[in-house]
Amino acid sequence: MPTSTAYEDELGDHFARHADTSPYNAYVDRPAMLALAGDVDGQRVLDVGCGAGHYATELLSRGAEVVGIDGSATLLAHARRRLGDRAELHRHDVEDPLDFIDDTSFDGVICALMLHHVANRRQLLGELRRVLRPGGWLLASTTHPTADWRHFGGSYFADDWVDLPLAGGQMSIHYQRMTLETFLGELLDAGLRLERFVEPRPVPSLRDVDEAAYHKLHQSPSFVAVRLRRP
């Protein structure tokens, strides 16, 4: 089990580059999450696990005020180069409470492809509910459990920590497998109300960039994404 969720050093640099153009990040998860966010003009949004600042950039362009947190100094350096002084960024391990953030201080929270890296998810989700104003929204995406089942095998209901090789096996990311029941159950147990559930497909522009990836990702699920609201 990890003691930190951070992608540091070479892994952080690889992820920052990869997220720019990866079919999975740039053409599947990011468009789906931004569509779920909808109109964010004038809203204060917390980007949890902000990485290299790709989502924050899009949210800022839509008129949001963005605060980003990440445990990785490497990724935050990329985010600062990308964002300049347009967003407030903090280095923080999300396994620890968000005790530097006031109650009910955000209109929205985005957790893009990061909850499966967190061991103490129930604590984190409780903290995210705390910092949301009543009526505020939370977006979360994670790896599709069917994709993990196809890749790692074994039982669909497995909840083990696994390592997914990257860059031809030179690096890997460490995360916990979750069923849909676990993913949604933990969010609902945190006192959030489900509004939308999607299994994102690639946007049409991927076809012009990588037709093979476009067709593959229309046939095999990669992620799930949800929008929830604090009552």
Q: Which pairing describes strands 161-166 and 171-176: parallel, antiparallel, or unpaired?
A: antiparallel
Find the length of the chain.
231
pLDDT in tens, 114-157: 999 999 999 999 999 999 999 999 999 999 999 999 999 999 99
Backbone angles phi, psi at 109, to 5 degrees: -135, 140
Distance CA 23, CA 117 (A): 21
pTM of the model: 0.95
Mean pLDDT of 48-72: 97
pLDDT of residue 3: 39
pLDDT of residue 45: 98
pLDDT of residue 166: 81
What is the band of 82 on the pLDDT scale with cuts at 50, 70, 90?
very high
Domain residue extents for the chain: 9-229
Residue 52 has pLDDT above 50, yes or no: yes
pLDDT of residue 8: 86
pLDDT of residue 15: 86
pLDDT averaged over every residue in the chain: 95
pLDDT of residue 2: 37
pLDDT of residue 220: 93
| Token pair listed for 153 | 């095998």
Superfamily in which the 9-229 domain is placed by CATH = Vaccinia Virus protein VP39 (3.40.50.150)
pLDDT of residue 6: 77
pLDDT in tens, 22-39: 999 999 999 999 999 999
pLDDT of residue 168: 73
